[in-house]
């Protein structure tokens, strides 16, 4: 897959569009592995790549990958779980620190 390629996603029923370079920004992440071209990724009936997670949380993952933007405090715990699941350590550490500040 080419890095500049536009990728249509179906994330838990929410339709999102991003670039391949966004999804593969962190080479050691699960997203980079999924979209490396080495592994088959399920598609929905409209040809969108299907990711079976909550799209309202996943959009914060995309915003971090695109802009380095942290999620709002009320979403930090959910995003932290997704960062762990998708192997995005660069997001997991800052979110954990911010989440702990919110709690204490």
- 48 backbone dihedrals φ, ψ, rounded to 5°: -80, 140
Full-model pTM: 0.85
Per-residue pLDDT tens, the chain, 104 aa: give them. 555 799 999 999 999 999 999 999 999 999 999 999 999 999 999 999 999 999 999 999 999 999 999 999 899 999 999 999 999 999 986 666 655 554 44
Cα–Cα distance measured from residue 91 to residue 79, given in angstroms and rounded to the nearest whole number: 9
Looking at residue 92, what is its pLDDT? Answer: 80
Cα dist from 76 to 14, 26, 55, 62, whole Å: 20, 20, 15, 14
Looking at residue 104, what is its pLDDT? Answer: 43
């Amino acid at each position: 897959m080419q890095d500049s390629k536009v990728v249509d996603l179906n994330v838990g029923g929410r339709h999102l569009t991003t670039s391949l370079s966004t999804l593969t920004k962190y080479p050691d992440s699960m997203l980079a592995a999924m979209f490396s071209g080495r592994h088959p990724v399920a598609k929905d009936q409209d040809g969108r790549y299907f990711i079976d997670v909550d799209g309202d949380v996943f959009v914060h993952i995309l915003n971090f990958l695109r802009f380095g933007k942290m999620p709002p405090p009320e979403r930090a715990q959910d995003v932290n779980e997704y960062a762990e699941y998708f192997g995005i350590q660069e997001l997991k550490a800052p979110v954990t620190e911010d989440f702990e500040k919110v709690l204490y």
